[in-house]
Amino acid sequence: MAWFTLPVDILLCRCLGIFITVWLTLLFVFIIVPAVLGVSFGIRKFYMRTLLKIFEWATLRMELGAKEKNQELYKPNTNGIIAKEPPSSLQQEIQELRGSSSCLRSEPEFEMADIFYFCRRGVESIVDDEVTKRFSAQELESWNLLTRSNYNFRHISVRLTVLWGLGVLIRYGVLLPFRVTLAVTSISLLVVLSTILGFLPSGELRSCLSENVQLMCYRICVRALTAIITYHNSENKPKNGGICVANHTTPIDVIILANDGCYSMVGQVHGGLMGMVQRAMVKSSAHIWFERSEVKDRHLVAKRLSDHVADKTKQPILIFPEGTCINNTSVMMFKKGSFEIGCTVYPVAIKYDPRFGDAFWNSSKFGMVSYLLRMMSSWAIVCSVWYLPPMNREEGEDAVQFANRVKAAIAAQGGLVDLIWDGGLKRAKVKDAFKEEQQKLYSKVLVGNNKDKSDPKCPEDQKAAEDKSSKDAAKGQ
């Protein structure tokens, strides 16, 4: 029996050895070396162009198959369910509902027509909630051949089914193992090399080596996600002694930005694998990690951030002021803490292309491990990064106004919706402050002021004022 099985065992061992050798050689030649040198062979861009052509063919095939079967393809309404007019103030909308008759009253008061304004706004919020839908995956106009769609487009035609099955084999049989190997390699290198650099004395040598190690490891991580990133306006890249703020879609936002430059990270101390990485990183470079009890101490957080930016030799701090992940269709309220430091702020806008894979992390639905597996089994991560001109707090501007100005600039550059709502609404109820603000606005309508009473837009008031002035002139004569 041994005579028959021995050649087969030897053959299998040799085949396995050849496979491992080829696998590691490909990793070293096409991934490790380009990451160290900071170059690219253009393979990922060619891969992206090929995918776009496949998606175009699949879309045409779906439309033809639907026509043959007299079916109607699902098309998401990207503009929302309700066609909303440009926003106007509460006072203006209530004035329009009341009509010109309200101008005839000497004193403002409650009218039954006011109820219709609140009813309409309430129904709009229920039917087309602009907050809740920011915490779910963005809908696509065309299918990207992934298995995560609720619509069985793959059953429309035989050729589309074969293409979808081939895509599953490629993504899970080739891309996923390849990417997992790269991710493990990058994390291992980051931990080992950062720990070794920690034994060197503080100085320019350690800072330079640490920066190169971080760039190399993050570039390997980017290749582990098959990320194709386009950076714009690199002359505005964050500099030492400042704070970089960006919209937040996914934990890999850190990797996307760190692939083009090093940053000092801010976050809470974790345990397990994440904690091991944090402890290794802080040995070779200046990062700011807080204990769970320290996070709630605003003064302590502000002091440590201020001390960091005051040292011009330290890397810029990277902060995501939203505090939670949004689905890359909008930018929500920025927490004011990052804007109270009194240093230069470098805004960055990140926009992902959902056609190749959904980068949004729905933390209430997926854990970190399952989310990363979804990312690594997607086609690719394609995004654009814009470095905006640095911004400083203006005279007479408080931290909230400064945060809103930075947020508006990021939203405008990234083509995102600028929302006033707090991202914490993903897990919490609306704060009483928002309700009180609406109550204050409506109370101004009821109480009124002298400016409203002499509003030139009201023809009756204008005519009455003219009559009064002419009578006063006649009495004077």
CB of 220 closer than 8 Å to CB of 185:
yes
Which pLDDT does position 230 carry in this prediction?
Answer: 92
**Average pLDDT of 432-445?**
75
Read off the pLDDT of residues 212-240 as tens digits, 9 standing for 90 and up: 888 888 888 888 888 889 999 999 999 88
Using only C-alpha atoms, what is the Rg of the chain?
29
Which pLDDT does position 351 carry in this prediction?
Answer: 94
**Average pLDDT of 375-393?**
91
Domain assignment present for 421: yes
Name which of 46-50, 75-79, 363-367, 389-393 the model is least confident about.
75-79
Per-residue confidence at 3, pLDDT binned at 50, 70, 90? Answer: very low
In this predicted structure, the answer to whether residue 319 has a pLDDT above a threshold of 60 is yes
- Domain span at residue 250 reads 153-428
Spatial distance between the Cα atoms of 312 and 239, rounded to a whole number of angstroms: 9
Which pLDDT does position 276 carry in this prediction?
Answer: 83
Which pLDDT does position 465 carry in this prediction?
Answer: 46
Domain assignment present for 309: yes
Q: What is the DSSP string of 271-322?
A: -HHHHHHHHHHHHHS--EEE-HHHHT-HHHHHHHHHHHHH-TTSPPEEE-TT
Domain assignment present for 51: no
Which pLDDT does position 354 carry in this prediction?
Answer: 86
CB of 153 closer than 8 Å to CB of 349:
no
Domain assignment present for 57: no
Read off the pLDDT of residues 155-190 as tens digits, 9 standing for 90 and up: 667 777 888 888 889 889 888 988 888 888 888 888
In this predicted structure, the answer to whether residue 470 has a pLDDT above a threshold of 60 is no
Burial class (CB in 10 A: 0-12, 13-18, 19+), 36: middle
Amino acid identity for residue 97 in this structure: L
The percentage of residues in the chain with a pLDDT greater than 70, rounded to a whole number, is: 74
Contacts of 45 (CB under 8 A, 6+ apart): 228
**Average pLDDT of 75-92?**
57
Per-residue confidence at 477, pLDDT binned at 50, 70, 90? Answer: very low
Coil/strand/helix, residue 424: helix
Spatial distance between the Cα atoms of 229 and 235, rounded to a whole number of angstroms: 17
Domain assignment present for 311: yes
Read off the pLDDT of residues 127-152 as tens digits, 9 standing for 90 and up: 666 777 777 777 676 677 776 554 55
Comparing 393 with 72, the larger pLDDT belongs to 393
CB of 134 closer than 8 Å to CB of 327:
yes
In this predicted structure, the answer to whether residue 406 has a pLDDT above a threshold of 90 is yes
DSSP 145: S
Number of domains in the chain: 1
Cα pseudo-dihedral 264, 267, 272, 278, rounded to 10: 20
Spatial distance between the Cα atoms of 219 and 237, rounded to a whole number of angstroms: 18
In this predicted structure, the answer to whether residue 358 has a pLDDT above a threshold of 50 is yes
Average pLDDT, the chain: 77
Domain assignment present for 272: yes
Which pLDDT does position 446 carry in this prediction?
Answer: 74
The percentage of residues in the chain with a pLDDT greater than 90, rounded to a whole number, is: 12
Domain assignment present for 319: yes
CB of 363 closer than 8 Å to CB of 325:
yes
In this predicted structure, the answer to whether residue 90 has a pLDDT above a threshold of 70 is no
Cβ neighbours around 1 below 10 Å, total: 5
CA distances from 211 to 59, 68, 207 (A): 44, 58, 6
Which pLDDT does position 237 carry in this prediction?
Answer: 92
